[in-house]
Amino acid sequence: MSALPILGVWLGGWALNIWLSRFDTRLTRVLVAVIFGATIIALWEMIVRAYAIPTVILPAPSQIAVSFAANTGILWTDFVQTILKGALTGWLIGAAAAVLTAIAIDRSPFLQRGLLPIGNFVAALPIVGIAPILVMWFGFDWQSKAAVVVVMVFFPILVNMVAGLKATDAMQRDLMASWAAPYGASLWKLRLPAAMPFLFNGLKITTTLALIGAIVAEFFGSPTRGMGFRISTAVGRLDLPLVWAEIVVAALAGTLFYGLVALIEKKVTFWHPSQRN
């Protein structure tokens, strides 16, 4: 196969997307994204076959699809172990802890001066350094991976939540004080709603961090299941199609996770200017 068909597919996809982008509708926006992705996959397949790239270097999308279909049971087991048990549990615990800590910091200037520097220090710790320690502390099952995720997501959510609790201006706070509103009422009716856009920014950022943390932590010890474990062992067997199948599952899970949080944000913060069309 010469380079002309490859060039033709690329130019054809490019030209079609340029034409569709003139029509700013929801359907055309979806079509542009679908055509772009399909063009990339087609070019990938054609380049691998045209230049006989070895599978251990870069498998073709068709080989990845065959491996995906042949290993759905393994992929589902790894998804449950890594994403649902490790990443999601750690993300929920880390987010809840960060929100409660942010409220405590907002309530106490002493904690603001003491905890934020410590949180900054913890956030700067490399995952390859803390993951083996947490695996030794919490064992080789999903609990240690959830602990790694908690450490990774805690500080970004904390910083955003602290900033969100300060988002109200002095006039609004004085108005609540003039009504003799206690701290709890002011927090619930004024400051937490104002902090929601900041909180969801932190939550969206950490959706991908949670997946990365859970997968990387499995390289340092895990039972005989999990995405990180499977990638490590598959690389040792030179089974690159299975490695890429795990990567596809991780990418799809991360995209759905982010999209779900963004959808909840749209429902919760419908009043915010960023959510208006």
Q: Which residues contact 269 (CB under 8 A, 6 or more apart)?
A: 196, 197, 200, 275
Mean pLDDT of the chain, nearest integer:
83
| Predicted pLDDT of residue 220 | 82
Query: Which of 203, 228, 205 has its CA nearest to residue 144?
Result: 228
Query: Which of 146, 123, 150, 124 has its CA nearest to residue 135?
Result: 146
Residue-wise burial string across 13-38, b where 16 or more C-beta atoms lie within 10 A, e elsewhere:
beeebeebeeeeeeeeeebbeebeee
How many CB atoms within 10 Å of residue 229? 21
pTM above 0.85, yes or no: no
Which tokens belong to 74?
A: 């393994």
Q: 204-245 pLDDT, tens per residue?
A: 999 988 998 889 888 887 777 888 889 988 888 888 999 999
More confident: 101 or 118:
101
Burial of 276 (0-12, 13-18, 19+ CB in 10 A): exposed
pLDDT above 70 covers a percentage of the chain that reads 89
Which tokens belong to 29?
A: 């926006």
Q: Is the pLDDT of residue 261 over 70?
A: yes
Considering only 113-117, 150-154, 185-189, which range has the smallest mean pLDDT? 185-189
pLDDT band at 52 (very low <50, low <70, confident <90, very high): confident
What type of residue is 53? I
How many CB atoms within 10 Å of residue 218? 29
Q: 235-259 pLDDT, tens per residue?
A: 888 889 999 999 999 999 999 999 9
Distance (Å) of CA 111 to CA 103, 120, 192, 198:
10, 14, 19, 20
Q: 3-33 pLDDT, tens per residue?
A: 778 788 888 888 888 888 888 788 888 888 8
Q: Is the pLDDT of residue 160 over 70?
A: yes
Q: How far is CA 36 from the centre of its chain?
A: 22
